[in-house]
Amino acid sequence: MVAGRGLHQPGAPVNVPVPFSSTYRADGAIAYGREDNAVWAALEETIGSLEGGSAVAFSSGMAAISAVVETLPAGAVVVVPGDAYSGTRRLLRDLSDRGRAVPRETDIADTEATLRLCEGAGLLWVETPTNPLMAIADIAALAEGAGRLGVPVVADNTFATPVLQRPLDLGADVVVHSVTKYLAGHSDVVMGCVITRDDTWLESLRTRRTLHGAIPGPMEAFLALRGIRTLSVRLERAQANAAELAGRLATHPMVTRVRYPGLGSHPGHELAARQMRGFGAMLSFEVEGGRGVADSVCAAVELCVPGTSLGGVETLIERRQRWAGEESLPEGLIRLSVGIEHVEDLWSDLSGALASTARTARR
Ligand SMILES: *Cc1c(COP(=O)(O)O)cnc(C)c1O
């Protein structure tokens, strides 16, 4: 199979048929629907070839992350970015409360400090860019240092996607994705995936999936595969939009700070330019006046959609600190997942929302 396209035969369907079946006739390759599915295989072949490894699909990004963490012995230390995806940190804190894992939070952009925490650890969790502070971690340097300590490295590649960054090529042992976001790309699927080149990891992750049962549905797998077909085109447009909006926001009088790795002012700019093939379509910015002003801006937009999540074709906006577990963020920080709309429509919406908020504040 190439690119999840099925049989190279005259008359073969271009898209793989989707087996909506829990049950199979005896003595074939698949015994039962929790073990495997032909459409998972097509999806996994596609994601695996994009990341340069073998993929295992899960029912959500968190199911994929849980499966990776579940491979660790009880009480293992997990070094994790202090600003990693909130679900990842909450999972580790929950495990910690029950004595199953010991999270050590780090500033992942600080390679030396992170590697000092890796002494005796069971896993180093890397996320870059981080969500939502957009910090950039040096995957190659972290993988090299952790490798010397015998600590496996997992990279959450959800923000960058394999189009912009391939952590396995940079030395990571395992990559995880929330397929929900850019890979599926249309805000209609929740799914996750793990990719590795290591057969021991692969076997263990497949076993976790079968035993824990966190399997993707066949329809969701089909939608994700269809979404991936346009990944690079969607990302190209969304990224161009994000770069333009980041530049304009950076000079807006109401905006105090823009975090986008494509800006020369970003502390991780040079590293990102080396490590990534583009700076992506996520950015965050802070507004003068903090929480109240940020909430008004998010309420005033008409084209952008106020809401959480990211990676869809529509632009999503939210004040991030409103979430549990995000208390340490600047209260006025607004996260934007930039979509594929016309950039001038987006700018007129955002600049209009900023202007109407300013007018209300003056009144
Ligand atoms: C959304 C997200 C996840 C969790 O994925 P789900 O599909 O929502 O379970 C993990 N990591 C990052 C970076 C995310 O944005």
Q: Each residue of 284-315: b (16+ CB within 10 Å) or e?
A: bbbbebbeebbbbbbebbebbbeeeebbbeeb
At 328 the pLDDT is: 84
Indicate if 156 belongs to the active site.
yes
Ligand 1 site-directed mutation target among 131, 159, 187, 193, most atoms within 8 Å of CB? 131
Stated pTM of the model: 0.96
Distance in angstroms (rounded) separating the CA atoms of residues 42 and 33: 15
Return the SS3 of 40: helix
> What is the secondary structure of 104-167 as a DSSP string?
EEE-TT-HHHHHHHTTT-SEEEEESS-TTT-----HHHHHHHHHHTT--EEEE-TTTHHHH--T
pLDDT digits (tens, 9 = 90+) for 31-72: 999 999 999 999 999 999 999 999 999 999 999 999 999 999
Q: Which of 212, 359, 363, 242 is nearest to 300 (CA)?
A: 359
At 326 the pLDDT is: 80
Q: Look-up: residue for tokens 């908020």? A: 357
At 308 the pLDDT is: 92
Distance in angstroms (rounded) separating the CA atoms of residues 62 and 243: 29
Indicate if 34 belongs to the active site.
yes
Distance in angstroms (rounded) separating the CA atoms of residues 246 and 33: 46
* Ligand 1 proximal residues by C-beta, below 6 Å: 60-62, 85, 87, 131, 156, 158-159, 178, 180-181, 190, 192
Predicted confidence (pLDDT) at residue 361 exceeds the cutoff of 80 = no
pLDDT digits (tens, 9 = 90+) for 144-199: 999 999 999 999 999 999 999 999 999 999 999 999 999 999 999 999 999 999 99
Strands 333-337 and 282-287: antiparallel
At 363 the pLDDT is: 62
Read off the tokens for 248. Answer: 């304009």
Read off φ and ψ for residue 105, nearest 5 degrees.
-85, 140
Q: Which of 254, 272, 267, 274 is nearest to 351 (CA)?
A: 254
Q: Which of 20, 245, 10, 85 is nearest to 262 (CA)?
A: 245
At 1 the pLDDT is: 76
Ligand 1 site-directed mutation target among 47, 174, 180, most atoms within 8 Å of CB? 180
Q: Look-up: residue for tokens 């040079």? A: 270
Q: How far apart are the first and last CA of the chain?
A: 64
Q: What is the mean pLDDT of the chain?
A: 96
Indicate if 104 belongs to the active site.
no
At 360 the pLDDT is: 81
pLDDT digits (tens, 9 = 90+) for 220-239: 999 999 999 999 999 999 99
Distance in angstroms (rounded) separating the CA atoms of residues 105 and 82: 5
Of 5, 24, 34, 291, the catalytic one is: 34
| Amino acid (1-letter code) at residue 34 | R
pLDDT digits (tens, 9 = 90+) for 321-346: 888 778 888 999 999 999 999 999 99
Over residues 123-144, the mean pLDDT reads 97
Q: Which atom of ligand 1 is nearest to the CA of 311?
A: 15
Predicted confidence (pLDDT) at residue 245 exceeds the cutoff of 70 = yes
Over residues 266-284, the mean pLDDT reads 98
Predicted confidence (pLDDT) at residue 318 exceeds the cutoff of 90 = yes
At 10 the pLDDT is: 92
Read off the tokens for 362. Answer: 């003056």
Q: Which atom of ligand 1 is nearest to the CA of 192?
A: 7
Indicate if 85 belongs to the active site.
yes
Distance in angstroms (rounded) separating the CA atoms of residues 178 and 156: 8
Helices (H), ranges, 181-305: 199-212, 218-228, 231-250, 269-275, 290-300
Q: Which atom of ligand 1 is nearest to the CA of 309?
A: 1
pLDDT digits (tens, 9 = 90+) for 73-105: 999 999 999 999 999 999 999 999 999 999 999
pLDDT digits (tens, 9 = 90+) for 249-274: 999 999 999 999 999 999 999 999 99
